[in-house]
Structure 1
Amino acid sequence: MNEVYRQEKKYFMTMVDMKRLSWELDPVMIQDAHNGIHGYSIRSLYFDTVNDKDYEDKINGLELRRKIRLRIYDPAADFAMLEMKQKEGDFQKKRSLRVSREDAMELNRGNYGCLLKYEDPFAQECFGVMHMQCYRPKTIVEYRRKAYIAKENKIRITFDHDIRATETDLRLFSPNLNMYPVLDAFHCVLEVKYNGFLLTYIKNLVNEANKSSLSVSKYCLARSASLKFSL
């Protein structure tokens, strides 16, 4: 199990401003090894309770809240990462556990008993929470990410674009999902993640960029597309 405890700030920005900030970050930060020309692909299957408690907690701005998801980087992968993100004031705690493709598919079906064979206490916690609170798969979100890294304070700056989702086809490993855009093609989401404090020279570059604060997560953007019609 891997655990990260850090601050996270999220912003909207245009793709033009993303390119501009990327050029300014290139000389002072390290590009993620998986970036390539257009970044790398991320696909996440989000779980929520039958009454969408995690979604409602986020929308209502509760200080203590969680998100549970399975994440892959390639539909042909032989594993997935089971992750739980917990908001605690200004900080985010993220714990993750690598599970086999077969177990990820069981979780995808809503069968959580496979977690009991993992010795890590985090797996037992996920089983208890997801089983007792009736978590179910709710949506898949997919996007492309370009990431920059600074080893000091584990600083990570990411640009997420081409954000799409589906709530009708929840097959995490399917190579072909019929997805709809949840953000227009001219904008992206900037995320700034760090432990303790943000180094001044990086903070200045980010502060000077043309952007606006974002309070809604990609999960909420995806769910809002359908939930607004059920009110």
Structure 2
Amino acid sequence: MQRVLRQEKKYILNTEQRMRMEARLEKMLRPDPHNEGVGYMVRSLYFDTMTSRDFYDKLAGVELRRKMRMRIYHPEDEYAMLEIKQKQGQNQLKRSMRITRKEAMQMERGDYTPLRAYDNEFAAEYYSILTMNQYRPAAIVEYHRKAYILPENAIRITFDTGLTASEGRMSIFEAQPGLYPVIQPWKAFLEIKYNHFLLSYVKELLNMCDDSEMAVSKYCLSRRQSLHRSESI
């Protein structure tokens, strides 16, 4: 089980802002090895209650809230990362563990029994939350990510583009899961994650973001887009 506690800042950028910031970052930070020059795909399946409690807790700004998700980086992956992300004051706590492709496919069908075979507290907690609160697969969210890293204070800066989602077939390993666009293609998400404090020259970069800092997550944006689509039908 992996455990990461850090602070986060999120912004929405237009194309010009993203290109200017990327040009600066390429000179100041190291590219993430997973980029392989062009970046990589991130696809997550989010679990939520029958009443979408986690979705509405986020919109309402509830102080103690969480997100339950399963994440892959390619449809042919032989494993998935099971994650719980929790808001704790100014920090975000993310805990995760790896499960097999077969186990992930069972969970996307609403069968959470594979977690009972793991002898660790995280798997037991995950299973309890899903079953006791009647969680079910709620949405698939996908985007393209390019990341930069700095060892000092574990700083990690990512640019996410091409946000798409689906609330139809919950098949995370499917090559073409029928995703629809969530925001305009020229917009990008900038996320800055760090421990303790940001270095001064990284703070200066944030001045290029103007007043675009956001609080709504990609999951919430995707769910809201789905609600608008259903209302228009």
TM-score tier (shorter): over 0.9
| Cα RMSD (Å) | 1.4
Q: What residue is the counterpart of 2:101 in the other structure?
A: 101
Q: What residue is the counterpart of 1:113 in the other structure?
A: 113
| Sequence identity percentage | 47
CA contact (8 A) 1:82 1:96 kept: yes
Q: Is residue 132 from structure 1 mapped to residue 135 from structure 2 by the alignment?
A: no
Q: What residue is the counterpart of 1:64 in the other structure?
A: 64
Q: Deviations over 1:129-180 (max 9, x none)?
A: 0110000001100100011101111111111000000111211110111111
Matched residue SS, 1:62: coil
In structure 1, C-alpha distance between the alignment counterparts of 2:184 and 2:175, rounded to whole Å: 23
Q: What residue is the counterpart of 2:23 in the other structure?
A: 23
Q: Is residue 33 from structure 1 mapped to residue 36 from structure 2 by the alignment?
A: no
Q: Deviations over 1:15-68 (max 9, x none)?
A: 221111011011211101121343110000000001000000000001110000
Matched residue SS, 1:27: helix
Amino acid at match of 1:191: E
Deviation at 1:206, TM superposition (A): 2.2
Q: What residue is the counterpart of 1:2 in the other structure?
A: 2
In structure 1, C-alpha distance between the alignment counterparts of 2:122 and 2:15, rounded to whole Å: 38
Q: What residue is the counterpart of 1:185 in the other structure?
A: 185
CA contact (8 A) 1:161 1:188 kept: yes
In structure 2, C-alpha distance between the alignment counterparts of 1:36 and 1:14, rounded to whole Å: 24
Q: What residue is the counterpart of 1:46 in the other structure?
A: 46
In structure 2, C-alpha distance between the alignment counterparts of 1:150 and 1:3, rounded to whole Å: 19
Amino acid at match of 1:88: Q
The structure carrying a bigger helix percent of its residues is 2
Aligned length: 231
Q: What residue is the counterpart of 1:167 in the other structure?
A: 167
In structure 1, C-alpha distance between the alignment counterparts of 2:210 and 2:57, rounded to whole Å: 29
Matched residue SS, 1:225: helix
Structure 2 unmatched ranges of 5 or more: none
Structure 1 unmatched ranges of 5 or more: none
Matched residue SS, 1:26: helix
Deviation at 1:225, TM superposition (A): 1.4
Provide the TM-score with structure 2 as the length reference: 0.96
CA contact (8 A) 1:42 1:142 kept: yes
In structure 2, C-alpha distance between the alignment counterparts of 1:128 and 1:150, rounded to whole Å: 37
Provide the TM-score with structure 1 as the length reference: 0.96
Matched residue SS, 1:159: strand
In structure 1, C-alpha distance between the alignment counterparts of 2:154 and 2:80, rounded to whole Å: 23
